[in-house]
Amino acid sequence: MDTFNAIKTRRSIRRYEGKEIPREQITGLLEAAMYAPSARNEQPWHFVVVTERDLLDRLMKAHPYASMLAEAPLAILVCGDTNLEKSKGYWPVDCSAATQNILLAAHAWSLGSVWLGVYPRSERMEAIRSIFSLPENIQPFSLIALGHPAEEKETPDRYKPERIHINGWETR
């Protein structure tokens, strides 16, 4: 799948078949994440790979919108490490780029995924921090549910020329 097609056709998939994702693909998803751009190339991320059913169930209780984890064989928790920050405050931007790379790589391999926001919701962050006993410098940022899709979604037209401003805000 070419990059532009992957960007346009990726959708949030919340229903999964029960099949496991091979270890090689999980490694590939993490490798894609680590190729994301980051401020000053600081790469302030860590990833928690979650495959144990008990942990996936606990995550469903910790996150109010994580019910799809009941069918997902895999979740990846993207975390920012404040000890690795060279540019204060950029770890969420960097972790966003890593998260998007995982979503696009999953789609390119015909896997379904959905981005579950954790940061900046302190109640979600603390609940997830507790589940995984994360150190204080590790900030849970996003949770990505992954699996073989059990649903298909149409590609909507999201291009909105009225939101484009050339050389300033005013229309010329």
Q: Any idea which fold 10-148 has?
A: NADH Oxidase (3.40.109)
pLDDT of residue 59: 98
How does DSSP classify residue 67?
Answer: G
- Per-residue confidence of the chain (172 residues) as pLDDT tens digits? 899 999 999 999 999 998 999 999 999 999 999 999 999 999 999 999 999 999 999 999 999 999 999 999 999 999 999 999 999 999 999 999 999 999 999 999 999 999 999 999 999 999 999 999 999 999 999 999 999 999 999 999 999 999 999 999 975 5
Cα separations (Å) of 62 from 1, 69, 103? 35, 11, 22
The span from the CA of 147 to the CA of 20, in Å, is 7
The owner of tokens 């015909």 is 110
Phi/psi of residue 81, each to 5°? Answer: -110, 105
Single pTM value for the model? 0.96
State how far the Cα of 93 lies from the Cα of 80, in Å rounded to an integer. 10
CA atoms within 13 Å, Cβ hemisphere of 17: 10
Using CA atoms, how far apart are residues 75 and 145, in angstroms rounded to an integer?
4
Interatomic CA distance for residues 20 and 140, integer angstroms: 24
Where in the chain are the domains? 10-148
